[in-house]
Chain A
């Protein structure tokens, strides 16, 4: 069993819809939770990162962490075609420059105009 599980999709929604992306994890040692966006033929870029359970909002994006259930989510409001990409959840055991990131397998998202 992988430490981080993510539904690979693909997920296709119409423009303007609310998108919900989710991951579960098994290792309670994870403390930092991130969402990366990866466009085709590009490297992952950090969208959001959270430390504690609860919600964190940044513009149209909301990250949610439930440590008791080992479940994290990313919500995208008013989705745009430019949001079409692969979204990777990612986790760290501790936040230092030496910490290696553990990624989910990614969910491919397509926003239809």
Chain B
């Protein structure tokens, strides 16, 4: 597609529920990033994939967060046993390394 597509746009989860957030990067983009943006803050790095390999997961806040990109295109960020502090916008970005990073519109997660 023309841009990075994320779904769902909005997700409300009850505390303790598992959620899965999807990212469809720009076709052919090797690099894929996940960022977390809390209200009134800048995005913070979570994890990075080069094709299907997860090369950096240093930003994942706990072992409840898990990301995968099994075929080197679509990626899923999974959060287990959600807690209120997980409420944020989750942004996905992809890059080919030549034209910079393109961000999706994000998934706004609210944990109640």
Contact = CB atoms under 8 A, between A and B. Distances in A.
Interface in B89-111: 91, 93, 95-97, 100-101, 103-106, 108
B66 interface: no
A8 to B, nearest CB: 7
A67 to B, nearest CB: 21
A100 B56 CA distance: 9
Given A43-B106, A49-B100, A105 B50 contact: no
A41 B105 contact: yes
Nearest to B108: A41
Given A42-B105, A43-B91, A43-B105, A100 B45 contact: yes
Interface string A85-113: 00010100000111011111110000000
A105 B100 contact: no
Contacts of A41: 105-106, 108
Interface stretch (B12-20, B36-44, B71-79): B36-44
A41 B10 CA distance: 10
Contacts of B60: none
Interface in A21-80: 41-46, 49
Contacts of B4: 43
B55 A106 contact: no
B11 to A, nearest CB: 14
A97 B41 contact: no
Interface of A: 4, 6, 8, 41-46, 49, 88, 90, 96-98, 100-106
Interface of B: 4, 30-31, 33, 40-45, 48, 50, 55-56, 59, 91, 93, 95-97, 100-101, 103-106, 108
Given A88-B42, A97-B96, A104-B42, 6 more contacts: A4-B42, A8-B40, A42-B106, A44-B91, A88-B43, A105-B42
A-B interface, 5 closest residue pairs, ranked by CB to CB distance from nearest: A97-B97, A43-B103, A103-B42, A97-B31, A100-B45
